[in-house]
């Protein structure tokens, strides 16, 4: 794996903020799955939750990459326009929120194509990036990286480089860089950020981990990386800022991880944005054109 070395020319490290735009009923692997055709019958909370989040980011002058579910773009096109108007990056989270390792390459390609169709109708800039639902891009489905390149995408942010519920890609590099796909091509991979906590690799900076971890631990995790000139990546969902969302039936463990500390997410993110700089993936890696990506200096 080659490392991208020119992501930052400034003294202050810019960190990466990412938001997976989906609704309260898109929590994965529910005991009784809700079919896609029924999603439209459920209360829409993603619209207002995302608008509130946009206001928060505006207050701190922070930019983010929004990995939007194609289904959300289909039913809330104006929301996608608003995200882009505020200077954030639009990327794809697929259409129907399926785990990658549950799909064949053809099914995966169809799902991403459909999401790109709806996103491209409303986004003015080309879509460059993808994040898999549940970070489900595992070693067994690294073929997905070639599908992304075939569909014109240039980066992926789906790798969780430790063991995990929905997948995980053990022994994957922990830093962003160009990786070689099974077909021998290169794609920029931006894995989930791991931190060293008392000699143990841990996740602190996204979803339930972010909501459980005390602020001081999150702050020291980001500082630890920035001291080495490395950006940290945070990932959150609009529903994580919504303590009043309807509760879904799940196992005790999943219920805890899905709903713990929802009332603390906003305040915690505000503290983070107050103390650190955050930007979108396209701004940090200057993905404004194909030419710039191929010109990335690698070590």
Residue ranges in contact with Zn ion by CB under 5 A: 20, 22, 133
Q: Least distance from C-beta 86 to Zn ion, angstroms? A: 21
Q: How far is the CB of 186 from Zn ion (least distance, A)?
A: 26
Residue 166 DSSP symbol: T
Q: For residue 20, with 0-12 CB atoms within 10 Å meaning exposed, 13-18 middle and 19 or more buried, which class applies?
A: buried
Shortest separation between residue 133's beta carbon and Zn ion, angstroms: 4
Distance CA 127, CA 137 (A): 19
d(C-alpha 81, C-alpha 182), whole Å: 35
**Based on CB atoms, which residue is closest to Zn ion, 129 or 177?**
129
Closest to 2 measured CA to CA, from 227, 180, 183, 230: 180
| Residue ranges in the chain assigned as alpha helix (H) | 36-39, 46-59, 70-75, 77-85, 105-122, 143-150, 207-212, 215-227, 252-259, 265-275, 281-284, 290-294
- Using the Cα atoms of residue 71, residue 72, residue 76 and residue 80 in order, give the sign of their dihedral: negative
Residues 72 and 83 sit within 8 Å (Cβ to Cβ): no
Of residues 129 and 133, the one with the C-beta less far from Zn ion: 133
Min dist CB 20 to Zn ion, Å, is 4
Identity of the residue, 169 or 276, whose beta carbon is nearer to Zn ion in the bound complex:
169
Q: Closest residue (Cβ) to Zn ion?
A: 133
| Identity of the residue, 235 or 278, whose beta carbon is nearer to Zn ion in the bound complex | 235
Alpha-carbon gap, residue 160 to 255, rounded angstroms? 21
Closest approach of Cβ 135 to Zn ion, in Å?
Answer: 9
- Rounded Cα distance between 180 and 175, Å, is 15
Q: Of 133 and 221, which CB lies nearer to Zn ion in the complex structure?
A: 133
Q: How far apart are CB 79 and Zn ion at their closest, in Å?
A: 16
The residue among 20 and 175 lying less far from Zn ion, judged by its C-beta, is: 20
């Amino acid at each position: 794996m080659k490392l991208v070395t020119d992501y930052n020319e400034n003294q202050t490290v810019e960190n990466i903020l990412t938001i997976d735009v989906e609704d309260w009923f898109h929590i994965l692997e529910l005991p009784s799955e809700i079919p896609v055709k029924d999603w439209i019958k459920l209360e829409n909370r993603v619209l207002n939750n995302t608008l509130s989040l946009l206001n928060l980011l505006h207050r701190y002058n922070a930019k983010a990459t929004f990995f939007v579910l194609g289904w959300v773009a289909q039913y809330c096109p104006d929301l996608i326009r608003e995200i882009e108007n505020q200077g954030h990056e639009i990327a794809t989270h697929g259409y129907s929120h399926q785990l990658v390792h549950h799909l064949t390459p053809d099914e995966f390609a169809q799902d991403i194509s459909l999401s790109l169709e709806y996103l491209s109708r409303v986004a003015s800039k080309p879509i460059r990036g993808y994040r898999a639902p549940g970070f489900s891009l595992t070693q067994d489905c690294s073929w997905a990286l070639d599908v992304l390149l075939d569909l014109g995408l240039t980066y992926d942010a789906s790798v969780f480089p430790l063991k995990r519920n929905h997948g995980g890609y053990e022994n994957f590099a922990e830093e962003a860089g160009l990786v070689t796909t099974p077909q021998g091509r290169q794609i920029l991979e931006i894995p989930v950020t791991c931190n060293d906590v008392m000699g143990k690799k841990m996740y602190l900076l996204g979803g339930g981990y972010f909501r459980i971890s005390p602020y001081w631990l999150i702050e020291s995790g980001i500082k630890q990386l920035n001291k080495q000139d490395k950006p940290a990546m945070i990932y959150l969902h609009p529903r994580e800022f919504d303590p009043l969302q309807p509760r879904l039936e799940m196992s005790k463990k999943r219920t805890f991880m899905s709903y713990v500390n929802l009332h603390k997410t906003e305040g915690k993110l505000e503290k983070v944005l107050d103390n650190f700089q955050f930007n979108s993936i396209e701004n940090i890696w200057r993905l404004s054109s194909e030419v710039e990506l191929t010109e990335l200096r690698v070590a």
